[in-house]
Amino acid sequence: MPKMKTKSSAKKRLKVLGNGGVKRSMAFKRHILTKKTTKTKRQLRGTAMVDSTNMASVRKMMPYA
């Protein structure tokens, strides 16, 4: 049987950690930043963890991670 492929979009956007969690970047920080407040942009810095409700779909997209 052929191997299952990892979704390229998930591979580029997500990082699987050693404890089984998945790290992601924040949304809404790419463009149209002039109308967003400094506080909003500051809070969108850094990374966050994928929520447990979305983990099933993430596992399907990245079968070998």
Whether the predicted pLDDT of 31 surpasses 90:
yes
For 13-18, the CB contacts below 8 A with 24+ separation are 14/50, 14/58, 14/62, 14/65, 16/62, 16/65
Residue showing tokens 């390229």: 8
Whether the predicted pLDDT of 38 surpasses 90:
yes
- Domain count for the chain, please give it: 1
2-14: average pLDDT: 96
Residue type, 17: L
Q: How many residues does this entry show for the chain? A: 65
- The domain spanning residue 54 has which CATH number? 4.10.410.60
Sign (positive or negative) of CA dihedral 26, 46, 59, 9: positive
- Residue span of the structural domain in which 45 resides: 8-61
What pLDDT does 27 receive? 96
Residue 17 maps to a domain: yes
Residue 25 maps to a domain: yes
